[in-house]
Structure 1
Amino acid sequence: MKVELLSRELIKPCTSTPPSLRDYPLSLVDELSPTMNTPTILYYPGEVQSSDTKGATSNSRCKHLKESLSNALAKFYPFAGRYMKGSYMIDCSDQGAYFVDAKVDVRLHDLIGKPKNLKVDLLNCLLPSPIGAADEVTDPLLAVQVSTFSCGGYAIAVMTSHRVADMSTTSTFIKDWAIHANILLEGVQEDHFRTFTCLELGSFFSREENVPSSLWNFKGNMTRGFLIAQTLNIRERLNPPLPKDQCGNLYLFTTAQSYAGEKGVELHTLVEQLSGSVRRGLESCKMLLSLKDEGQKIVAQAFSFTNTLREPGTLIAGIFSDWSRFPFYEADFGWGKPIWVSTANLPIRNGTI
Structure 2
Amino acid sequence: MNTPLILYYSAPPKDHLNICDHLEDTLSKTLSEFYPLAGRYIRKSSLVDCNNQGVQYILGKANVRLSYILGLGRELDPNALNGFLPCEVGEVDEVHDPILSVKVTTFECGGFAIGMCVSHKISDMGAICNFINNWANRSNGKLKHDQNYSPIFNLATNFPQRGLPELDVRMPRSSVGVTSKARRFVFKGKAISALRENVSFDENVPRRPSKVQLVVALLWKAFVRVDQANNGLSKASFLVQLVALRDKVLHELPSNSCGNFLALAASRLKPGEGETITFRDVYEILRGSVSKAVRDCTTALKDGEEGYEKHGFT
Conserved? CA contact 1:106–1:150, under 8 Å: yes
Q: What are the Cα deviations for residues 64-102 of structure 1, in whole angstroms up to 9, with x where unaligned?
A: 111101111111111001000011110001010110011
Q: Equivalents in 1 of 2:255, 2:150: separation in Å?
A: 18
The equivalent of 2:278 in structure 1 is: 266
Q: Distance in 1 between matches of 2:125 and 2:312?
A: 20
Write the distance in 2 (CA, Å) between the matches of 1:137 and 1:225. Answer: 40
1:212 aligned partner = 213
- Aligned-residue offset at 1:275: 1.8
* DSSP 3-state at the match of 1:164: coil
Does 1:276 find its partner at 2:241? no
Listed as ranges, the matches of 1:83-94 within 5 Å are: 83-94=41-52
The reply to whether residue 43 of structure 1 matches residue 55 of structure 2 is no
- Flag structure 1 segments of 5+ consecutive residues without an equivalent: 1-35, 304-353
Higher relative contact order (CA 8 A, sep 6+): 1
Match of 2:194 in 1: none
Partner residue, 1:165: 123
1:22 paired residue number: none
Q: In the alignment, does 2:77 pair up with 1:119? A: yes
Taking a change above 3 Å as real, the CA distance of residues 179 and 295 of structure 1, as seen in their structure-2 partners, is farther
1:6-55 Cα deviation digits (max 9, x unpaired): xxxxxxxxxxxxxxxxxxxxxxxxxxxxxx11111111122x43xxxx33
Match of 2:91 among 129, 133, 146: 133
For structure 2, the 5+ residue unaligned runs are 165-206
TM-score (norm 1): 0.65
Distance 1:72 1:138, change over 3 A: same
Within the alignment, does 1:66 sit opposite 2:24 as a pair? yes
1:170-195 alpha-carbon deviations (Å, 9 max, x no partner)? 111000001111228x9x8999x974
Amino acid across the alignment from 2:60: A
In 1: Cα distance, 2:131 partner to 2:94 partner: 23
> How far off its partner does 1:265 sit?
5.2
Query: CA 1:91 to 1:132, structure 2 compared with 1: closer, same or farther past 3 Å?
Result: same
Residue in 1 that maps onto 2:153: 197
**1 CA distance for matches of 2:146 and 2:283?**
49
CA–CA distance in 1 between the matches of 2:121 and 2:236? Answer: 30
Q: Provide the aligned length of Structure 1 versus Structure 2.
A: 256
Question: Aligned letter for 1:166?
Answer: D
Q: Deviations over 1:118-146 (max 9, x none)?
A: 11111100110111000000000001000
97-106 or 289-298, larger mean C-alpha shift? 289-298
CA distance in 1, matches of 2:116, 2:93: 17
SS at structure 2 position matched to 1:274: helix
The answer to whether the 8 A contact 2:41-2:99 is kept is yes
2:241·2:266 contact (CA, 8 Å) conserved in 1? yes
- d(CA) in 2 for partners of 1:63 and 1:238? 41
1:229 is displaced (CA, Å) by: 2.1
2:235 is equivalent to residue 224 of structure 1: yes
Identical columns (%): 33
CA–CA distance in structure 1, aligned partners of residues 89 and 282 of structure 2: 31
Q: Do the aligned partners of residues 118 and 265 (structure 1) sit closer, same or farther apart at CA in structure 2, a change above 3 Å counting?
A: farther
Change (3 A) 1:81 1:208: farther
**Equivalences for residues 321-336 of structure 1 within 5 A:** none
Contact kept, 8 Å, 2:130 with 2:151, in 1: the verdict is no
CA contact (8 A) 1:231 1:251 kept: yes
Is 1:291 equivalent to 2:303 in the alignment?
yes
User: In 1, are the aligned partners of 2:151 and 2:257 still within 8 Å (CA)?
Assistant: no
- 2-structure distance, mates of 1:208, 1:169: 24
Secondary structure of 2:87's counterpart equals coil
Whether the 8 Å CA contact 1:100–1:145 is kept in 2: the answer is yes
Q: Distance in 2 between matches of 1:281 and 1:196?
A: 25
Distance verdict in 2 for CA 1:300–1:126, change over 3 Å: farther
For 1:44 and 1:133, the matched residues in 2 are separated by 26
User: What residue is the counterpart of 1:78 in the other structure?
Assistant: 36
In proportion to residue count, which structure has more strand?
A: 1
TM-score where L is the length of structure 2: 0.73
Partner of 1:107: 65
Instruction: Render the CA deviation track for 1:212-265: whole Å, top value 9, x for unaligned.
Output: 122232222043121122222212333463112211100111121103648485
CA RMSD of aligned residues (A): 3.0
2:15 maps to which residue? 55
Change (3 A) 1:208 1:165: farther
